[in-house]
Amino acid sequence: MTAVGDIRGTTTDRRAVIALLRRLRSGEGHANPLPVWEEMRALGDVVRAPWGGYFVTGFEACSQVLRGRNWLVPDFAWQERQPDPERWQAPATQEMTRTLIRLNAPTHTCQRRALGNPFDRGTLEALRPGIAALVSELLDDLAEELRDGEADFVRTVGERLPVRTVGRWLGLPPEDYAHILDFTHRQVYAQELLPTKSELAVSAQATLEMRAYFTELIRHRRAHPGNDVLTGWIHYWDAQYPDDRAAADQVIYDLTMFITIASLETSAVLLTNAVWFLTQDPSRAAWLRAHPQHIDDAVEETLRYDPPVWLNSRVAAEDTVLAGTPVAKDTTVHVLYGAAAHDPRRNPDPEVFDIRRGGGHLTFGGGAHYCLGAALARLEARELLGQVLERFPTLRPTAPPTYDTSRVVFRRITSLKVTT
């Protein structure tokens, strides 16, 4: 078996799956995706996708795909083997395929080893005071806006903390933060499950702006080195490619661009969700304020309950069987993080937001492609919740969050209005 069409093993009603996907993209689906996850899981651990390939819904099956060595990311080699290679020629798609999330061994191994663990314990301890100060500054801004009665947590805090954190770490000019956020929001559409032509056009323009920005940033930093991570990467990769400056620049660009934009929207969703889930129930926030030792547990339950990334894709490295379903080599499977996290076999009563659950989630992935910035995101969320609980004991939302409903891969919360 070497083609999707040769596979047997599931007889899922195509119309039922399409209906669930449409519900997921609706305003109702974004506000509460749990019924969709439940109905998708009811179809099986491995569900045939309408266009071929499969959705993976069960926790154990998703974990197997993310951690297994016989599952690969859809890299350039895989794209070239597809019957419709033009589908993968969009500029934004090509740009992201060079980054860590779309590299397989040995290239992925080489770059990850060169990076080491960029957010190890020592680095996090060094970053902690600066992140605490950033949170304090942003909460000062929130307090100022709340004097008028209402503030937008996303615009004032949620989106600004991640870009300021990674900006300081890499040495990005503060005056560029708004521009970086802007092209990040637009570029991400190319990573959607089935992007439209108009979305790909938006992503293509954003990719041009992104490329111009980071190319100039690296050129300037090479000419004016500093005491920052980017300068260190330049020194390292210039030494790896002493006779090929273009090759060094390409690797440095891919790393800098990817780590910057990957840390923005996902962290913003985590931060906003954490505040939303805690403050919508005053008793929940009061309990956590009285038991701050459980702040880390609140962060983990937030990651489980509503993952910032709903879906990720892998391809079978060889003919295999997943949860009893034959899957042919090169077939795409789409891991549904939300469905997995709400699998009652792994997390009983999954629809309940339970800070003391002690359950499990796959929100940061697994295996070789485990999220590089997981520890940093947790640190940001931990520091933010601690200060919010202390400074704003009566903070509460005035309305549910609003979402960019055109997405089913990367969540984006566009607004969360709060008051005191």
**pLDDT tens for each residue of 65-117:** 999 999 999 999 999 998 877 778 888 889 999 999 999 999 999 888 888 88
Indicate the domain borders of the chain.
Answer: 4-419
**pLDDT tens for each residue of 304-353:** 999 999 999 999 999 999 999 999 999 999 999 999 999 999 999 999 99
Provide the terminal-to-terminal Cα distance of the chain, rounded to the nearest Å.
Answer: 61
- Banded model confidence at residue 402, pLDDT cuts 50, 70, 90: very high
pTM exceeds 0.95 for this model: no
Of 414, 373, 377, 405, which Cα lies nearest the Cα of 189?
Answer: 405
Share the mean pLDDT of the chain: 92
Residue with tokens 């042919």: 328
pLDDT at residue 401 is higher than 80: yes
Superfamily of domain 4-419 in the CATH hierarchy = Cytochrome P450 (1.10.630.10)
Cβ atoms of 173 and 164 within 8 Å: the answer is no
**Percentage above 90 pLDDT, the chain:** 84
Helix, strand, coil shares of the chain, percent, nearest 5, are: 60, 10, 30
Cβ atoms of 274 and 305 within 8 Å: the answer is no
- Banded model confidence at residue 4, pLDDT cuts 50, 70, 90: very low
Grouping H, G, I as helix, E, B as strand and the rest as coil, residue 409 is coil
Return the structure tokens found at 272.
Answer: 């906003």
Question: What torsion do the CA atoms of 53, 187, 271, 125 make, to the nearest 10 degrees?
Answer: 100
**pLDDT tens for each residue of 16-26:** 999 999 999 99
pLDDT at residue 8 is higher than 80: no
Identity of the highest mean pLDDT range in 154-163, 183-192, 256-265: 154-163
**pLDDT tens for each residue of 265-308:** 999 999 999 999 999 999 999 999 999 999 999 999 999 999 99
What is the per-residue pLDDT for 10? Answer: 52
